[in-house]
Structure 1
Amino acid sequence: MDVVSITEYIESTFADIHIVTTWGETSFFYNPHRKLPRGIYFATIKEKNGPNDRASKLDRSDVFRLNIGISKWTYRTLFGQQPSRPQAGGVIDTGHDFAALDQLFPHPVYGWMSWVAVLNPSTTTFEAVKPLLSEAYVLAIEKFVKRARQAR
């Protein structure tokens, strides 16, 4: 799979999304009728290292990371208890190789928030994470409804 294919899948599968691409990252927000400034994001694709996020070594040629925000329950089913929040500029401590290709692992920075990630997923791995994308989308809808109510 590549960034374009994954982006096309998300765009064609999930309704009412807003896509923002900046600084080597494509973010997917649920935001019907643009009611909120950006909406609620549920997935991102990161294509380069950030100042506080170098664990996946995205400076390698053609390496990208798909990030997905899932429920606490699903995260715990996959990886056990969420790790502690890392120090500023640090990564979570789970023992995972955050630079390994085609393997699902906790997000190196946001795993404590139940985000997961995979570098350069194969077609098989992407099929396996599609339910996680669907779950993240549903969670974004739920958060959006709450936030939109509060904004009234």
Structure 2
Amino acid sequence: MDAQTLSKTLTDLLPGVEVLEADQTHFFCYHPDPAVPADYRMPFATLVTTDAHDQASDLSRPGIYRLNLGVRPQTYQAMFGQQPALPEGSGVVQTGHDFTKLDQIMPHPIYAAMSWICVLNPGPETFEHIKPLLTEAHGIAVRRYNHQHHKEK
């Protein structure tokens, strides 16, 4: 599945998703009500196609992209153990993973400390494993949105 197909699949799969695009990155936000100020748009997933923000995954290779998503800390820990510390400067977390490897769910090379995970070019089987994690990330965003929106009323 290419990056554009994946982007469409995510918006079809998850309700209330708005996709913002900047610097060849897609930001997937839960934002079901256009009347709510844009301040409430916080991505629960991103789809990155360039090395503009980090070079850990070598996304400059033709056709390579990375899907990133934020999961609950307990989910991250069940998959990978304790979250590493944030890397210093423009560094990469040291988890022992090859962040250039395709079709493998792994910690995010920068944001693993915040329970973000990633996968480069997920194949059909890997995407099936990612679906519940996407649903979880989306659910976190829905709860955050509802909590913030409720405060404004």
Q: Which stretches in structure 1 are left out of the alignment for 5+ residues?
A: none
Which moved further from structure 2: 23-32 or 139-148? 139-148
What per-residue deviation string (whole Å, max 9, x for no partner) do you get for residues 15-55 of structure 1?
1111011101011000121313152311110000024x110
Give, as a single letter, the amino acid of the residue that structure 1 aligns with 2:112. Answer: G
Please tell me whether residue 17 in structure 1 is matched to residue 17 in structure 2.
yes
Q: Which stretches in structure 2 are left out of the alignment for 5+ residues?
A: none
After superposition, the Cα gap between the structure-2 partners of 1:100 and 1:138, relative to the gap in structure 1 and judged at 3 Å, is same
- How many pairs are equivalent? 151
For normalisation by structure 1, the TM-score amounts to 0.94
Deviation >3 Å, runs of 4+: 149-152
What per-residue deviation string (whole Å, max 9, x for no partner) do you get for residues 49-85 of structure 1?
024x110001111110011111100000000000001
Aligned to 1:73: 74
Q: How high is the sequence identity, in percent, across the aligned residues?
A: 37
Aligned to 1:114: 115
Provide the C-alpha distance between the structure 2 equivalents of 1:96 and 1:148, rounded to a whole number of angstroms.
Answer: 38
SS of 1:88's equivalent in the other structure is coil
For normalisation by structure 2, the TM-score amounts to 0.93
Give RMSD over aligned pairs: 1.3
Provide the C-alpha distance between the structure 2 equivalents of 1:86 and 1:47, rounded to a whole number of angstroms.
Answer: 21
Aligned to 2:128: 127
